[in-house]
Structure 1
Amino acid sequence: SGARTITKNPVFKATEFKLSHADNSFSIEFGTREYNRPESLIYRYSLDNEKWIDLPHGTNAVNFSDVSPGSHTLRIVAVDNGIQSDESVITISIAPVWYNSWWAKLIYLIIVLGVIYYAYYVMQMRARRKREAIERNYEAQINEAKLQFFINISHEIRTPMTLVMSPLQKLMASDDNPARQKDYRTINRNAKRVLRLVNELMDIRKIDKGKMMLSFTDTPIVPFIDDLCDLFKPVADSKDITLTFDHEGHDDMELWVDPANFDKIIMNLLSNAVKYTPNGGKIDIKLASGTDDNTTGPLHRYAEISVTDTGIGIPESERQHIFKRFYQVRNNQTGGTGVGLHLTSSLIKLHYGTINIEDNPEGQGTRFVVRIPLGHEHLPVNQLNIPLAQSSVPKHTTNMVLVPDINETDNDNVKVKVSERVLVVEDDEEIRNYVAHELSTHYKVDTCANGKEALDIIFKQQPDLVISDVMMPEMDGLELTRRIKKNINLNHIPVVLLTAKSREEDNLEGLETGADAYLTKPFNIDILIKTVNNLLKSHQRLRNTFSGNQTHDEKVDDIDTTSSDDKLMERIMKVLNKNLGNPDITVETLANEIGISRVHLHRKLKELTNQSPRNFIRNTRLRKAAKLLVEKKLTVAEVADLTGFRNPNNFATSFKELFGVSPTVYMEQHPDSPEE
């Protein structure tokens, strides 16, 4: 039956039969050894110990259909006139279908257990990934909080550093005492070190935001590194550390690097080496080149710069974390922020290079190995800087300032008058007093502590130039600059912004507000004075040009000509004067009265007056209102009504925005004739 043997014995002797699941319908015939009087026999059977069933007379077979898989016991007896024979017992075993067999169930069990285990594993992995994501987010938030904290602190550091470096530079220039000059250089070197740390934080933020754009220049690397080594020799000599640079055979090597950022890589490595090398130690810098046959990328041909020291070394377990931001080696006894190596690694990646840490092959200490690709084929074209003449030694600057061109010699005869007035706006009292003191020998100087106070002073005194800090209470320097440049009575005043923010986007934001110059703290006071001088001279040149003083226009006979623009302005003013008291006059009305399109009117007024038509109408009304107020013949409400303002409150607000004071105060401040 199927693959099963039903029985190995003769049927009448067999006690067990095996059938497949396909043969679960079958018949069993039976009989006795006595064949006389068969009509008197009755057969009875019981399946699986259930109730006995009697068969009809003469019937000796039982039919079974759809018997369930498993082992079944069939009992049969014969009854002859009330006499019952012995039981005949057979076992019928029906195999289950294959997918319901014991081995199939075992497989099912294994699969179910596997699914349960996999589900548990997936849940565990998801939970672990979720925990890791939470930990990463938490770590990122902590790092961001640290970085933001350091950046905020760096802004605060730049302000007092101005009071350190600017007076220090004056002392270095004026004091010839050799002993004090040595102290000055020490102070200057450490002050620059503080600024370098501050700038590193700014660089990390740029890299994180993807805004660090390098400018690669073909740079002679030997004098470049020599120049950096010279910066560290005084510190190395003070600790009796031998600092050597081995570049034998590579004197003419040139690398495509960004000098302004590549020097930070070398300086950080040298700074760490000097910091962690004990007195009497040794620092070796080696320049080499080579090829890597295992790679076809930019590093197939490379320059290798190694910095080896005899310092405390870095344990193997710490090396995989050493380039993480804010990470510090556990045995670090010299402090540090954990920023330098992270910035170094990030800048090397931007140079398409690699950095590795090794043990000093000659004994105690650490060896940093930097590899930078040779050539420039791997570099983006928009990042290549190919100057007409390249300098062999890079210049290292602490910070950059956006100022007008500064020339020590004046080629013109324009002189800045001492009577010119400068307003210094700075919330830090020491900085404010210092800048005011330095400028007081050149100009008349007024001071205030925030932008709100400054705006009131500017409206009242109309200074010739404003010097303002950016971060201030009440009103910051950017908002102050916007209000000055948007007011037609004030927008001619030059504005110089001083700030501790050194990011490019901060510089752009300052210049976009209309600032004429943007200086980063700590600034050189001489640069500030020269910047103010240049701006005032430029402003004076413009006044001379428009007044005709430079060309003696008043001595030239006028020729009666009227340009088309003058004719247009006459038509505009004629219509505006006619409708000055009409509150319903609009830009469209003005354009229709003149006979030009609204777009053309807007373009011409913007070109001729630097004002939009709406502002031109409003400002003309306000200037007329100012004249009426000075005459003191009408009340403020009557003046507002005569100049087309329905709401006196709106009139007062607009008037104060243009003139800096309310109409009532304006009347009090102008007791004399309108001509004044």
Structure 2
Amino acid sequence: MSHDIKNFSISFSALEYNNPNNVIYQARLNGFEKEWTILPQGSNTVTYTNLKPGRYTLEIKANLPNTPELHREIKIVITPPIWLSWWAKILYLLILIVGSFCTYISIKHRIAQKKENQKKQNENNIMQSQLQFFTDISHEIRTPLTLILTPIEELIKSTKDPDLKATYKIIDQNGHRILRLVNQVMEMRKLDKGQVKLCAEQTDINDFIHEIIVSFNHLAQEKNIGFDLHIAPDLPSVWIDQEKLDKVIFNVLSNAFKYTPANGEIELSVDINDSFLRIRITDTGCGIPKDLREKVFNRFYQVPNENNKVKMGTGIGLHLSRQLMEIHHGQIFVEDNDQPGTTFVILLPLDDSYLKPEEKKLEHSDRNLATLVQTSISPESTAEALPANSGKNKRKPKLLIVEDNQEIKDYIYKVLSPEYQIFEAKNGKEGLEMTIKELPDCIISDIMMPEMDGIEMCDKIKKNEQTSHIPIIMLTAKTAIEQRIEGLKVGADSYIPKPFNIEHLKIRIQKLIEVRRVMKNKYEGKSNTIKEEISSLKSTDEKFLEKLEKIVKSKMAETDLSVETISQEIGLSRSQLQRKLKQLTQQNPSDYIRITRLRHAAWLLASKNLSISEISYVTGFSSLSHFSNCFKEFYGMSPSHYMEIHRVPKKTQDSEDEAQQS
């Protein structure tokens, strides 16, 4: 029977004519049931429903009372559907076997791939750890380099003996060589982190190339190497990131001079090839085998030859150059030719169509090229700077040095102490306290310091009304543009990287103090004409802020002073007040109330003979502990410490002023 027959009945009969109704029947379907079923008297039919496909045996017993049983059976086969047939099951088995095998292969491949990825990840982690180590070491190297290069520049300027001057120049050149290697390591670290951005500007390529090759002319003369430059006439201005392209050309030229023997030749040519600016640098050195011409751009790779055993290198210059060119949407490769030596080719797009708007620098700025080493300020430029102690001002300006390296601190003290009254602090916490105590005319601060770094110290100084006018110069080994921006955001007036030029530092300090003095004389002079004119010409925003400040100060003692109260007083809705204050001060109303209270509390601590609890009550803080926590977070010290260090210099300054007047 077919599998789609859901039910069927089978009837049977024993050959009994005398008494057919007395015959007793029993039935059992082997394969479906185990027990015999006794049918009712007179019944001779069995019915089965929904039997599964398979083989069954229907057994029937019939008997009369006191007679032996009769037994018969019939085979029943219910055929399966096509998808359950034997050959279908074999196919399923084959599919299962193949699937299991494929799954096994896939899992095995996945495990192998996972191990490979883990291996690569471990190698990458090791490399990143090495690079981080190199970067940290590089930052540390910059500090002793400062104490090498800066005094050497002073010695070169002051020494008259030609032999000594030549020796000093050798020290200076090798010091700057170390500095360039340090910069390469830090640049590579920034590239790995994706922190290097393109900043292109329209450039005269002729002038740009000439500025670079000047640094190699002296080296060419020393090694007796012919150094030729060929620039095609009438080249158009191109959009390039001068700093990045300079590093690329500098690295390639450095390698050319490194591997070109005496009496050799190096040629730099610039022309246009299709729609690209092409820069070719050819040397007559030992050359690079064809199978290694791509590997030289791998990190830390060096061509294995006799020259590298003598001329040691890092193997990062060309790798750095390749990455910089990729950021620049250009190419750098070794030209495939049979000429002796090596030819490197640099290709750059001619127009600016490949640049995004944020990658363009529309205003030209001074270049900070790898080939331009720091030079001493000329005597003419030094003469233009106003001396720190000139005219009728007999009091030396106060200068605070915040630096955790004692040697650098001692060197700056030695150089600047003749012109300034020097105060010292070894970290940002001490620097903040010293600033409030002495109110210096200028601050020189490192960034990386224990307890409190220079960024946090600068932020707290600029937030304090009593100290916000003091100019701050960040002097640090951290030279990334992001770190400079971070320093400038919190109010730093200048950012000078280590190693620094001491004349540059001197003039920067003098100019910052001079600017502050001019501003003070302008706005705090004896004549009230300017003040009256300024006060009469107030903008709507200034009037709004004055009115807001007046309202907050009048209700400052109220602990439940809320934004709703202020918005009702000033005549604006809460949302309007929020938007306007955010636009003018970058603060929301609740922050404005808190900061105004803290600044008023600082003024009271410094000028009024009140206890801290009284000041906390007057400025509207709900508890003394809450006031202390808010004050310490904003000013970097407790109210009692602020009161202690601020009130001491007041008497000292008064006595100094009286002594000067007498």
TM-score (norm 2): 0.69
Paired residue secondary structure (2:269): strand
Indicate which of 322, 326, 340 corresponds to 2:296.
Answer: 322
Paired residues of 1:309 and 1:360 also in contact (CA < 8 A): no
| Alignment correspondent of 2:322 | 345
1:546 and 2:493 matched: no
In the aligned structure 2, how far is the partner of 1:558 from the partner of 1:322?
66
Cα distance in 2 for residues equivalent to 1:373 and 1:589: 61
Deviation at 1:445, TM superposition (A): 0.9
Look up the match of 2:191: 207
2:205 paired with 1:220: yes
CA RMSD between the two structures: 4.9
In the alignment, is the contact (CA less than 8 A) between 2:330 and 2:346 conserved in 1?
A: yes
| TM-fit CA distance, 1:151 | 1.6
Equivalence map 1:205-604=2 (5 Å): 205-208=189-192, 209=194, 211-221=196-206, 224-225=208-209, 227-240=211-224, 242-245=225-228, 247=230, 250=232, 252-253=234-235, 256=238, 257-277=240-260, 279-280=261-262, 282-287=264-269, 303-311=278-286, 313-331=287-305, 332-333=308-309, 334-357=311-334, 361-363=338-340, 365-374=341-350, 383=359, 396-398=371-373, 409=384, 418-549=395-526, 551=527, 553=529, 576=553, 581-589=557-565, 592=568
Give the 3-state SS of the residue equivalent to 2:515 in structure 1: helix
Q: For residues 427 and 411 of structure 2, what CA distance do their matches in structure 1 show?
A: 16
1:612 aligns to 2:589 (yes or no): no
1:354, distance to aligned residue in structure 2 (A): 3.1
Cα distance in 2 for partners of 1:572, 1:101 equals 93
Partner of 1:343: helix, strand, or coil?
Answer: helix
Once the two structures are TM-superposed, the CA of residue 339 in structure 1 deviates from its matched residue by 1.1
Corresponding position: 1:126 with 2:110 = yes
Q: What is the deviation of 1:568? A: 9.2
Please give the per-residue CA displacement for 1:306-363, whole angstroms capped at 9, x wherever unaligned: 423322x445554443212223344442332221010111223344443333687345
**2:384 match: secondary structure:** coil
SS at match of 2:466: coil
Q: CA deviation at 1:166?
A: 1.8
Pick aligned residue for 1:155 from 136, 139, 149: 139
User: Distance between the aligned counterparts of 2:205 and 2:538, measured in 1?
Assistant: 63
Letter in 1 for 2:346: V
Deviation at 1:126, TM superposition (A): 3.0
Are residues 396 and 255 of structure 1, via their aligned partners in 2, closer, same or farther at CA, if it must alter by over 3 Å?
farther
1:250-305 per-position Cα deviation (integer Å, ceiling 9, x unaligned): 3554573433222222221222233334x4362432537575xxxxxxx6656250
SS in 2 for 1:172: helix
Secondary structure of the residue aligned to 2:296 is coil
Q: Deviations over 1:350-394 (max 9, x none)?
A: 44443333687345x544343445555555566566889999x99
| Equivalent position of 1:47 in the other structure | none
Native 8 Å contact 2:437 2:646 kept in 1: no
Following superposition, the deviation at residue 230 of structure 1 comes to 4.3
Does residue 648 of structure 1 match 2:624? yes
Paired residue secondary structure (2:500): coil
Q: Deviations over 1:65-100 (max 9, x none)?
A: xxxxxxxxxxxxxxxxxxxxxxxxxxxxxxxx9x99
Q: Which residue of structure 1 aligns with residue 151 of structure 2?
A: 167
Taking the aligned partners of 1:660 and 1:654, their CA distance within structure 2 comes to 10
Q: 1:562: Cα distance to partner?
A: 12
Q: Which runs of 5+ in 2 are unaligned?
A: 1-81, 376-380, 655-662
Aligned residue number for residue 92 of structure 1: none
Deviation track 1:208-245 (CA, whole Å, cap 9, x = no partner) reads 30632041534334x655554443344455445x3332
Q: Distance in 2 between matches of 1:239 and 1:255?
A: 34
> Structure 1 residues 243 and 150 mapped into 2: Cα distance closer, same or farther (>3 Å)?
farther
TM-superposition CA deviations, 1:126-154 (whole Å, max 9, x none)? 34433332233223222222222222112
Compare 609-618 and 410-419 and name the one that shifted more.
Answer: 410-419
Letter aligned with residue 231 of structure 1: S
**Preserved CA contact (<8 Å) 1:467 1:495:** yes
Q: C-alpha distance in 1, partners of 2:152/2:349?
A: 41
2:445 maps to amino acid: S
Counterpart CA distance in 2 for 1:621 and 1:218 is 54
**What CA distance in whole angstroms lies between the structure 1 residues aligned with 2:538 and 2:356?**
56
Which AA in structure 2 matches 1:190? N
Give the secondary-structure state (helix, strand or coil) at the position aligned to 1:247: strand
Which letter does structure 2 place at the counterpart of 1:322?
Answer: V
**Judging changes above 3 Å, is the alpha-carbon distance between structure 1 residues 318 and 119 closer, same or farther for their aligned structure 2 residues?**
farther
Please list the CA deviations of residues 185-216 of structure 1 after superposition, one character each: whole Å capped at 9, or x if unmatched.
Answer: 32222222222222223332343306320415
- CA 1:150–1:662 in structure 2 vs 1: closer, same or farther (change >3 Å)? same
Confirm or deny: 8 A CA contact 1:353 1:370 kept in the other structure.
yes
Is contact 2:396-2:421 (8 Å) kept? yes
The one-letter code of the counterpart of 2:473 is: V
Taking the aligned partners of 1:437 and 1:231, their CA distance within structure 2 comes to: 32
For 2:373 and 2:316, the matched residues in 1 are separated by: 18
The structure in which a higher percent of residues are helix is 2
Distance (whole Å) between structure 1 residues aligned to residue 407 and residue 153 of structure 2 = 18
Select the structure of larger CA radius of gyration: 1
Q: How many aligned residue pairs are there?
A: 553
d(CA) in 2 for partners of 1:559, 1:369: 64
CA distance in 2, matches of 1:234, 1:201: 26
Residue deviations 1:530-583, cap 9 Å, x none? 11112111211222222134x564999999999997899699758855x66543
8 Å contact from structure 1 (residues 494, 516) kept in 2: yes
Matched-pair contact (CA < 8 Å) for 1:653–1:662: no
User: Which 5+ residue runs of structure 1 have no aligned equivalent?
Assistant: 1-96, 292-298, 401-405
Map residues 81-100 of structure 1 onto 2, 5 A cutoff. none
**CA distance in structure 1 between the partners assigned to 2:444 and 2:521 by the alignment:** 23
The equivalent residue for 2:23 is none
Equivalent residues of 2:374, 2:501 under 8 A apart: no
How far, CA to CA, are the matches of 1:353 and 1:499 in structure 2?
A: 33
TM-score (norm 1): 0.68
SS of the residue 2:609 aligns to: helix
